[in-house]
Structure 1
Amino acid sequence: MDWTVAFGPGGGNDIMARTLVDILKKQKLYPKNIAVENREGGSGTTGWGYLKKKKGDGYAISTTSGSFITTPLESKTGFTYRDFTHVGLLASDALFFIVTADSGVTSWAQWVEKAKQKGSVSVGGIGEVNVDFIVLDILAEKAGFELEYVPFDEQGQLLTALTSKSLDGAVSNPAEVTGQIDGKALKALMFTGAKPLTKYPDIPTAESLGFKDLPTMPRGLILPPDAPKEATDWWIATMKTVAATPEWKEYIEKNSLTEDLRWGEDFTNYLNDTNTQFETILKERGKLPG
């Protein structure tokens, strides 16, 4: 089995893929070897482009993120989400807005005040025009500060830039920064999900700060174009089993995700709706032709 992670090691996409593989092995749900390869580059273009070339292959697979939809919208990738075989949505992933613990900023109100005083702030995220960018652009517009968005392909580079003071702030999926937050190296000023996190009840939600219905990242599973029906059916049945395991429930809780299970056609409908939402937002913000 050839499992493609379209981003670098340590990110939310990578963590989910390797968790799924570990559960498959532990539960003895797949009898052969599964090779997980990070094929990062181009905000997912390299990895998903590789998967597209595996047309008709039932032994190649990948996990999705927001870039699975946004990158083809703004770049000539040679594919869109429609080209792939949709196995299922497993969870949605919101973001932390983070600063370094020694920044002197301890609340969102302080951040906005500092950003306005500075004139323009540099904030990093993963991907050129991804959920990270969309969320930050909405926050900056509604809060009234100027933002320079700095994109990264790999989580380690993003955190290095933040801790070295090259960035004023960043957004990140919770799974990628809980260690640094628990260790008091980073401070989360906001969680963009609809409800407070069980593990971090004191981190305010975006909605509690006046920002409603911010986009989240779809964590799903896809096969190459025209994958055999028997392979698709096997993966759907197997992922339903995986989603019922204690290990998966623990992963959801530990990584501050919202479980959202949609299989086959239901996942396709979800992707259609999400694509429409993202395309509308990006056009409104001048990132796509009107």
Structure 2
Amino acid sequence: MKEFIAGAKKKRKGISMGLASLGSSDQISAHRIEKETGVEFNIVSFKQGSEAFTALLGGHVDFGVGNPAETSGQIEAGKLRVLATLTDKRLPYMPKVPTLKEEGVNVAFYQLRGIWGTKNMPKDVVKYWETVFQKLTQTASWKKYVEKEMVLDTYMGSADYKKFLENELKMFEVELTALGQIKKK
């Protein structure tokens, strides 16, 4: 990754990045890497992530950002190489791949999955579902899902998840405003 960033800084017009759409999580993560490293990427937007990866495999863009489960087949076939993960810790299914933070780029980015209820859901019902989902994360079928889908096995109760989401929403607002996707009033 360090060589990638150093090479990108030397390239006059920047290196090209294929992504699914403007304003997407891919563009936000790229923008955060740009800010952290001083590199400017030439963003090439596609209608779908599959089109972005086809462009990458065909040599039409220099790099992309993607979920491990979406790219694992190409990685295993030796057609793609993972330079770094956008996680705080190394992924258990890619233990040799460093994180961006290990490579000196202080960026982590997560795509979230959550279970939602109504605003006025009674506290005892919330507690019930928290207990159910906490237990679910301990089952063999959950562990199998985590492994198959290559997702992080992280559980948060409603209070912690709410705090986490509030911070993520602030970050999204800052990044999307900087990218011109949100107009200031």
TM-score, normalising length from structure 2? 0.77
Aligned to 2:7: 113
> Take 1:234 and 1:152, find their aligned partners in 2: how far apart are those partners?
42
Of 76, 91, 111, the match for 1:182: 76
* CA displacement 1:93-136 (0-9 Å, x = unmatched): xxxxxxxxxxxxxx541454156325132212344213321211
Equivalent runs, 1:1-290 vs 2, <5 Å: 107-110=1-4, 112-114=6-8, 116-152=10-46, 154-222=48-116, 236=130, 238-284=132-178, 287-290=181-184
Contact 1:116–1:144 (CA<8 Å) still a contact in 2? no
> Take 1:247 and 1:268, find their aligned partners in 2: how far apart are those partners?
26
Contact 1:116–1:145 (CA<8 Å) still a contact in 2? no
% of aligned pairs identical? 24
Aligned to 1:41: none
Larger RCO, structure (CA 8 Å, separation 6 or more): 1
Partner AA of 1:249 in structure 2: K
Structure ranking higher in strand proportion: 1
Contact 2:13–2:42 (CA<8 Å) still a contact in 1? no
> Take 1:194 and 1:226, find their aligned partners in 2: how far apart are those partners?
31
- Give SS of 1:124's match: strand
Cα pair distance change 1:161/1:152, threshold 3 Å: same
- Give SS of 2:30's match: helix
Shift of 1:273: 2.3
Cα pair distance change 1:227/1:120, threshold 3 Å: same
* CA displacement 1:136-178 (0-9 Å, x = unmatched): 1122233333212234453322222221223221000112111
> Take 2:178 and 2:130, find their aligned partners in 1: how far apart are those partners?
36
Report the more deviating stretch, 132-141 or 254-263: 254-263
Gaps of 5+ in 1: 1-106
Over the aligned positions, Cα root-mean-square deviation in angstroms equals 3.1
Number of residue equivalences: 183
Shift of 1:206: 0.5
Partner AA of 2:17 in structure 1: V
Shift of 1:207: 0.6
Cα pair distance change 1:159/1:213, threshold 3 Å: closer
Aligned to 1:22: none
Contact 2:16–2:63 (CA<8 Å) still a contact in 1? yes
Report the more deviating stretch, 197-206 or 237-246: 237-246
